[in-house]
Amino acid sequence: MSPASPTFFCIGLCVLQVIQTQRDPLPKPSLQAQPSSLVPLGQSVILRCQGPPDVDLYRLEKLKPERYEDQDFLFIPTMERSNAGRYRCSYQNESDWSPPSDQLELIATGVYAKPSLSAHPSSAVPQGRDVTLKCQSPYSLDEFVLYKEGDTGPYKRPEKWYRTNFPIITVTAAHSGTYRCYSFSSSSPYLWSAPSDPLVLVVTGPSATPSQVPTEESFPMTEASRRSSILPTNKLSTAEKPMNITVSPEGPSPPFGFAHQHYAKGNLVRICLGAMIIIILVGLLAEDWHSRKKCLQHRIRAVQRPLPPLPLA
C-alpha cells in the first residue's frame, strides 16, 4: 500500500462524517408546561424542555422581551402578567445547536372576570342537529376561546367574523361533554379572563321518524270490533250497534252459554291455582324469616361475648 493511502482514508472518513451530519440533523426538543399552559394568576407552573440523552447544554428562552436560561426547566412559583408570553427551547451537542422547539404559549388566566357560556337553542341536542355555543363577557373584549374538557387545544372557529358564537354543525355523540370559554383582548393575547362556568352539552339519540309514530291501524282491536267480526250478519258501524241490539227472553243462544260456562270454569281453576301459589310463597317467606331470625340471634350473642384480656406487659 502506498504512503498516500492513510491520508486518503482519513479524508474519506471526514467526508463521510460531514455527509452523515448533514443527513441526520439533531432532532428538535419538546417544550411542555406542567400542569397546564393555562395558569391562573398566583399559581405555579414548570416549563420543561426534553431532548435526547447526553445533551451538553439546554437553553430555554422567552420571546418578547427576549431573555433566556441555560437549563432544561423554568420554575415560576407565582404566575404574574409579565410571565405570560411565548417560550421555546433548544440544546447544544458539542458545537452544534438543535432546531428550536415548537413555541409554547403560556397564558395567564383570571385577569378579567369570567364570561358566561350558553347553548342555543338548548344544551340537549338531538343527534344530527345544529347548536351554537355563545360566550359573552361583561367587558368590551373582542376575542373568545372555547375549550372542551379532555381536548388539548381550543375549539377552532370556522369563520373569522364569528366572535362570540361557536356554531357546531351536525352534532354527533363526540360533541357531548363539558365546555368552558375565555375572553381576552386582541391587544394582549396572553392575558385571559377566568374560565366561564361549565356547560354540559348532551347529545340525545336520533329523533323519531314518522314511521315510528303509532297510527290507528296499529292499535289492538277493541271488544266491540271483536264482536263485530264474530257476528257475520252485522254490517253496521259501532255507533249504530246499541240501537239494533235486541234482548231475547229465552236467554243467550247455546253457543254463547257454553262459552260462558267454559270461561267460568277456567277462571275458577285459575283462582284456585293462584291461591295455592300465594299460600306456598307465604309459607316459604315465613320459614326464611324464622331461619334468618335464628341466625341473627346467634350472631348477636357472638358479638356480645366478652373480649379476651389484654396480655401482660
Residue 32, pLDDT > 60, answer: yes
Q: How many CB atoms lie within 10 A of CB 164?
A: 18
Phi-psi region of 55 (alpha: psi -120 to 50; beta: other; left: phi over 0): beta
> Of 180-189, 201-210, 297-306, which range is least confident?
297-306
How many domains are contained in the chain?
Answer: 2
CATH number of the domain bearing residue 80: 2.60.40.10
Structure confidence at residue 164 (pLDDT): 84
Shared-domain flag, residues 101 and 31: yes
> Domain check: are 102 and 128 in the same one?
no
- Domain membership of residue 287 (yes or no) is no
* Residue 289: CB atoms within 10 Å: 10
Question: Domain range holding 135?
Answer: 113-204
Structure confidence at residue 213 (pLDDT): 31
Element (H, E) at 32: strand 30-34
The DSSP output letter for 76 is E
Residue 15 lies in a domain: no
Q: Tell whether 180 is covered by a domain.
A: yes
Question: Does position 188 have pLDDT exceeding 90, yes or no?
Answer: yes
Average pLDDT over residues 111-131: 95
Lowest mean pLDDT among 31-40, 210-219, 238-247: 210-219
Note whether residue 64 is domain-resident: yes
Task: Give the model's pLDDT for residue 158.
Answer: 54
Question: Residue 309: its pLDDT value, please?
Answer: 53
Q: Are residues 33 and 90 in the same domain?
A: yes
Residues 103 and 142 in one domain: no
Q: Please tell me whether residues 129 and 94 are part of one structural domain.
A: no
Residue 44 has pLDDT above 90, yes or no: yes
For residues 92 and 45, state if they share a domain: yes
E strand or H helix at 126: strand 124-126
Final residue before a domain boundary, out of 110, 130, 161: 110
pLDDT at 85: 96
Residues 173 and 155 in one domain: yes
Same domain, 106 and 141: no
Domain annotation covers residue 20: no
Express each pLDDT in 225-271 by its tens digit.
333 333 333 333 333 434 343 333 444 444 445 555 656 777 788 88
Cβ contacts of residue 122 below 8 Å, gap of 6+?
A: 131
Domain boundary pick from 78, 110, 142: 110
Any domain includes 226: no
Residue 112 C-alpha cell reads as 378579567
Domain C-terminal end among 92, 110, 128: 110
Q: Are 170 and 107 in contact (CB under 8 A)?
A: no
Is residue 10 situated within a structural domain? no
Digit-coded pLDDT (tens) for 135-182: 999 888 989 999 999 887 887 655 544 568 899 989 999 999 999 999
Confidence of residue 184 (pLDDT cuts 50, 70, 90): very high
Strands 199-204 and 124-126: parallel
Q: Are residues 55 and 92 in the same domain?
A: yes
- Tell whether 12 is covered by a domain: no
Q: What is the pLDDT of residue 292?
A: 67
- Angstrom distance (rounded) from CA 280 to CA 291: 17
291-305 residues labelled b (16+ CB within 10 A) or e (exposed) = eeeeeeeeeeeeeee
Q: Predicted confidence band at 16 (pLDDT cuts at 50, 70, 90)?
A: very low
Please give the pLDDT value at position 312. 54
